[in-house]
A and B are shown apart, each in its own frame.
Chain A
Amino acid sequence: MDKITISMLKKAAKAILLDMSASEYEVLAQEFDILLRQMDLIGNIKGIDDTVPMTFPFEAATSWMRPDEPVPPEPASDILKNAGTTLADQIKVPKVVG
């Protein structure tokens, strides 16, 4: 893999709505130097590209269905206690559509 640049890292950060200071990006770039060398070790595994990816430790088939039992919802007032900004009985967010 090519050498990592700060702009590549900023792009990755922006994709997940994060930002860091210039010095923090520098530290991360240095960390990536080691990280990419570690990741090269994955590429060194014999037969790596002829293998199917593993997404879970083993097959955990769930052929059952939950009973469709109505459960009373939590009171809106309790849920709203965790939200920073509320309006009436809703969570208030900045305007999305102009």
Chain B
Amino acid sequence: MAYLDLTIHEIHEALVAGKTTPRELAAEAIKRACEDQNNAFELIIDQDAMAIAESLAEPEPDNLLWGIPYVAKDNFSTKGYPTTASSNSLNGYVPLFDATVIAKLKQRKAILIGKMALDELAMGGTGTTGHRGTTYNPHDPRHERMIGGSSAGSAAAVAAAIVPFALGSDTGDSVRKPAGYAGLVGYKPSWGRISRYGLFAFAPSLDHVGVLARSVSDAAAIVEAIAGHDDLDATSAMIANPKGLPQLEGDVRGLRVAVIGEIVNSPHHPIIKSKFEEILKGLTEAGAVVERVHMRRDLLDAIYPIYITISCAEATSNDANLDGIKFGPSFWGDTYEQAMLKARTNGFSELIKRRFIIGSFALMRENRDMLFVRAQKGRRLIVEALNEIYKTHDLIIVPAAPNVAPRFVDGSDKLSEEYLIADNHLVLGNFAGLPSMTVPIGLKDGLPFGLNVMGRAFEEATVVNAALAVERLTGLKNLRAEGGVAR
């Protein structure tokens, strides 16, 4: 039996029952990683992973992650292993410490078998801009459709059942968007719930650690393992980490669910709209109170421009340390400015340079109030509008994306309602730091699509419970792409 095709909870049962071993699992995961057809990996960690697997002798029934192989996006610091964030500017960089989440998973005896490709420096949503080229969607063996990003490799590895879970990061929708395109559960809890120590910063006011898995319960269990206050992260929350979420029953009786009408009514494929309405009906029959609510159109239209302005500006500042002096490929010059200019000009791809220049432009003295500060003001108004909805409702549920994974050749009108609202609304969860989970709800021509559940800050239990109810309604648990066919 191919145990890697199972969920974490099922693999754990097999490990405890002695039906398989960490060694067998790690060997199979590494074999599958070596056979990967989707350009998902930055690095395969084979020898060390096997050594750790072989050292795990006695199963730990109370430790769900004991001996479970996993992968991490290549923007998490891993001691002793190259970590590039898929950018040439970091080629050869080897961190001297583990990110807190990597250390926690090591402590739980999960086995890291690979570092995964991403959009360069996590600044993209297509999985096409990493320095190793495009990452493909395992559900499309013709390699015509994107998996989304920026946690592209992480999503591809879980969808292809190379591993049962992966770490990702989410600044706009970088875990939850690819989860939707890959038929996975993509989950980021509240801002501050999981330590970001050792995660390469993109836009710290928006950055979250997130996870990708093939069931709601698995995703909740991983978050339970890696969440909690961390003295090493000054933005880490002091609020107690909730326990027992993976064991919730999906009971939605009495839950008040808001559906933002303007988002649902923006352009979506009819199959997605129809399936979404079917799920809402199912939740209503299960006892939830589902209601349409309104959000001001002027706020929704501004979601993407606010995101691009804030994220590019913060990134411009954060990534000033990528200068080719302390780490990364080095270029000499007559002055230190020349050395840095050469390193940065040669180290970043054109897209990233454009993003940095957008950020720099928004931060220039003459533009700052009109662009950056105004975007921060718009963010506040949007967050206030969301909080108004949460005064009367426990959750907001909306489709995760307007369509299935787009083709690489598909263009989009960057001023259209579809682009500005339907394609980019998941960043609402980053603006407000809310727990947010994407769950698969259907397939169109074999390609998955999902919906998103978003709750109040630090009320993860409500989100997990509702997501479990959705999973039960669809039966789409442990969805995998086997030979390009969703199973």
- B330→A18 contact, CB < 8 A: no
What are 7 A-B pairs with beta-carbon distances under 8 A?
Answer: A24-B354, A42-B374, A55-B376, A56-B191, A60-B237, A83-B330, A84-B330
Do A83 and B377 form a contact, CB below 8 Å, given A42-B309, A62-B234, A93-B336? no
Most chain A beta-carbon neighbours within 10 Å: one of B234, B327, B329: B327
- Report chain A residues within 8 Å CB of B430: 57
Are the C-beta atoms of B336 and A94 separated by less than 8 Å? yes
- Judge if B102 is at the interface, Cβ distance under 8 Å: no
Which single member of A9, A15, A46, A93 contacts B325 (CB below 8 Å)?
A93
Within 8 A of A (CB), among B359-408: 359-361, 364, 367, 370-371, 373-381, 383
B148 within 8 A of A: no
Question: Are the CB atoms of A35 and B358 closer together than 8 Å?
Answer: yes
B63 beta carbon closer than 8 Å to chain A: no
> Which residues in window 214-255 of B have CB below 8 A to A?
231, 234-235, 237-238
Interface residues of A in 38-93 (CB under 8 A from B): 38-39, 41-49, 51-58, 60, 62, 64, 66, 74, 78-79, 81-85, 91, 93
The one of A16, A44, A85 in contact with B360, judged by C-beta atoms closer than 8 angstroms, is A16
Beyond A45-B299, A48-B377, A64-B238: 13 further Cβ-contacts under 8 Å? A12-B360, A18-B357, A18-B360, A20-B345, A24-B353, A28-B354, A28-B357, A31-B354, A32-B361, A44-B298, A46-B298, A58-B432, A74-B96
Complex formed: what's the CA distance from A84 to B306 in Å?
37
Name B361's contact: one of A8, A37, A91 (CB within 8 Å).
A8
Instruction: Tell me, in angstroms, the Cα distance from A96 to B370 when the chains sit together.
Output: 36
Chain A minimum-CB-distance residue to B80? A78
Is there contact, CB below 8 Å, between B325 and A12? no
The size class of the interface chain A forms with chain B is 35 or more
Q: How far is the CA of A87 from the CA of B188 in the complex (A)?
A: 44
User: Cα distance A85–B326 when bound, in Å?
Assistant: 9
Across-interface contacts of B380 in A (CB, < 8 A): 51-54
Chain B positions within 8 Å of A, measured between CB atoms, are 92-94, 96-97, 191-192, 205, 231, 234-235, 237-238, 296, 298-299, 301-302, 304-306, 308-309, 316, 320, 323-341, 344-345, 348, 350, 353-354, 356-361, 364, 367, 370-371, 373-381, 383, 414-415, 420, 430-434, 457
Q: Are A42 and B92 in contact (CB under 8 A)?
A: no
A94–B420 Cα distance when bound, in Å, is 46
Partner of A54, one of B92, B360, B383: B383
Q: Nearest Cβ distance between residue A9 and chain B, in whole angstroms?
A: 6
Q: Are A45 and B234 in contact (CB under 8 A)?
A: no
Instruction: Write out the residue numbers on chain B whose beta carbons fall within 8 Å of the beta carbon of A66.
Output: 231
Question: Which residue of the partner chain, among B205, B339, B367, B379, contacts A94 with CB atoms under 8 Å?
Answer: B339
A52-B377, A53-B376 given as contacts; is B306 within 8 A of A42 (CB)?
A: yes
Residues of B within 8 A of A19 (CB): 341, 345
Is A45 touching B302 in the complex (CB atoms < 8 A)?
Answer: yes
Considering only CB atoms, which chain A residue lies closest to B458 in the complex?
Answer: A58
A22 at the interface (CB under 8 A from B): no
Contact, CB under 8 Å: A94 / B302: no
B298 cross-chain contacts in A, Cβ below 8 A? 41, 44-46
CB–CB B96/A79 < 8 A: yes
Q: Is the pair A54, B364 in contact by a Cβ cutoff of 8 Å?
A: no
B205 x A15 contact (CB < 8 A) = no
